[in-house]
Structure 1
Amino acid sequence: MKKQTLISSLCKRKYQENDDLGATPSSNIIDDKQENEDIGPNSKNDIDMQENEDIRPTPSPIITLASSPSTRNKIDLNDLPSDPSDRPPITSYHLNQIYDIRRAYLVKKAFQPRGHHFKWTNYSSGRRRFNVKWFDKYHWLEYSTKQEKAYCLYCYLFNESVGNKGGRETFVSEGFCNWSKPGALKEHVGLVNSIHNKAAQKCENLLNQKRSYDANEKRRNKERRIGNQYRLMGVNNPDIGKYTLGKAKKNNKLTAPSIQKEIADCYAKEVTKMICEEIKDDVFGLLVDESSDVSLKEQMAVVVRYVDKVGVLKESLIGVAHVRNTYSLTLKEAIVSLLADNHLSINQGSRL
């Protein structure tokens, strides 16, 4: 308002001057308006105007928080979407839920509505539609009754950012509906090392994780048994060899896998005990690494970093603990419990 009053007073004054000089008023008015507009923000009137504008309340912005894979919501595994077109991307689920969701879909098997009336599509060569016999040939094949398109269950569960190789994205998110080219299904499967076959192998391992775990455990047990037999024979300690294997009683040879595991566990406890006794009440650091074992269960390895009595820096493994999930509170509880079992306190590390 002040600026408009200033402009009006200047125009009135210029009109009076123009009447005295006989000049054209319109040109002078335009010049004065330009001069008025060129007045910088340092002028008193502009400063007042800016202050008035600053007094006006600024509306607060509306912030919308988008959901992310790190947000864990409760999911009913029995109520997962069956139709492929209704499923969100597998990566949109929380990391700790993807394993259970994948397994639930594999147990339910691919969505194959064999009694559905498949839609006809007109092509230049004639009418074509989805052939129900393809379900028998491709167990991974799914059909969306809402979109009238085909999808791949394996590639959906283990979807990776590898582009549209082998029409992979077509069978994951877009959907396949070119019924005049059934060879595209075989092309999607590809060779032995194709992306689809790798996903299929992961699905098989997930379903048969116990069998895979038992096979690997059997191999490792055999290696341990051979190593323990050499130790029990007294290769490194002749005093032990006097009472084992051939010199021991038939029912007390200590060669059974379960007994050898117990012996190895005793060795591990004694070594861990020596490490903790060396630390005692001194300070130490913790190195924690979390990963999945062969059975796809979360586990956490804990390593202590300390300086011994002679000033040598050491890093020693004191245990491996299985955890329910990877939340920070769960990991902390597992660490505290592991340290307590070894007569150590997490407060010793907090003094570093």
Structure 2
Amino acid sequence: MDKFLIKRPRSEESSNCPKAPPSSGSSEKNTDVNFNSNDIISDPGLQKSIEDFDIGIRDQVRREYLTRGPCQPTGHSFPQKEHGKQRRSFQDAWFKQYPWLEYSVTKNSAYCFWCYLFTPSRGNQIREDAFTKKGFNNWKKSLEKFVKHVGAVNSVHNDARVQFQSFQNQRQSVSHQLATYSQEMDVEYHTRLTAVLDVTHFLLKQGLPFHGHDESLSSLNKGNFLELLEWYSLRNDKVFKVVNQNAPANNQMTSPKIQKKLANACETEITCAIVDDIGDKYFSLMIDEARDVSVKEQMGVVLRYVSKNGYVIERFLAMVHVPDTSAISLKNAIDCLFAKHGLSLSRLRG
């Protein structure tokens, strides 16, 4: 459910009580089903009542207000108000004493954050409008009124407090646990992927075969890929916790199909590096044909060019299957290969 939280713009973070957007001038209740962040106003004196929001988005509205917290403009120059012969004002210290208390800069009044979010819904309990809609500003009797507002254990305010705490603890809900678990799975997957790629890089660099004759669990030699991965995991605790028997049965990334995909991904990266190194320089082409074990014709392609440092370099580009070794077949294969990698025949010399 964290996906519904909308962060406050940076310009609003500097003040707990940003200015309200211009009023639309309509006195009708807004019951739009779609959530609009512009309806979320930090100043309690300008807020829409929770009942004015469509019931389908009220929890979303509460989450947004919960993210922002009560409007407590600490350090604000609170204006004084005459009470008989005395002049009194709101005090900063009250915020620490009453965490539910919030203050409206525009109306110079105090409100209850908990009671605003969670209206009473049981029996004959009636919400106190002085701390939810009208605002309280009789600073002479403020402390007395604050205590009276909190009331007994079963008061309207304490009922709202219980609902507030329950709603606040929804981060421990099933959906949050699933989200957290998903994040852990992402970290484990990244570690596992990095490990198998390291093994793939090593085998490709050394020109070693991946598969073994017997890759079953009871085999004494499962092949280079599986044996090297196991050797790697025994020397790295983080890798050991996420591979082989400690990996999910459907995400071990050790099957022959996955090994081939990893090798193909490395091949693509290497080929791109070779083509980028050639750039717009001239190069020559060397090809040779050979048959594989299935008696299919193959054409090996090697590029020869001068590097940026002035060295003559030969790079194997690809092995291409051709129907036969006639000139037209080889020409068509070369054209397709050049088009695939963005190489220009106009740069070919020899």
Q: Normalised by the shorter chain, which TM-score bucket?
A: 0.3 to 0.5
Query: TM-score, normalized by length of structure 2?
Result: 0.39
Pair member with larger Rg: 1
